[in-house]
Structure 1
């Protein structure tokens, strides 16, 4: 544990940010996996799950978890799976 006051605060803020980022990243990956399974099984709700997954990807970009080109590439790949 650090002794300096600013370093102590840095540890606390890092822990809160890390937990928030982890939960958002997990939610994004779960949404993408749900869509991929639905698209693979030709489910009726695949379109809704695609919209949800793309929202999660956009949210990850705005939070700084993903680069915008990475999210655009992933959304493009998901759209191709939806079109099949």
Structure 2
């Protein structure tokens, strides 16, 4: 690959990287570009309905919402369905 075309590819990749981290200056919360961070506590627990390995985040989430305990979401990691809710 020529030096000129290699430099062009590197410049485009750098531009994509910069643009992927730019949020338009709003900071997500309308704070005029300031980043606002709020730490939320999240409790997790193993799903009571899944005694077999899971394969889908959506299926885990649906199962967690249906079971008692106030679970609001769920995800599948390492074939284990884990439910979560705000503490």
**For the superposition of Structure 1 and Structure 2, which TM-score range results when normalised by the shorter chain?**
0.3 to 0.5
Higher helix share: 1
Q: Which structure has the bigger radius of gyration?
A: 2
Structure 2 length normalisation: TM-score?
A: 0.32
> Going by fraction, where is strand more abundant, 1 or 2?
2
Higher RCO, Cα 8 Å, sep 6+: 1
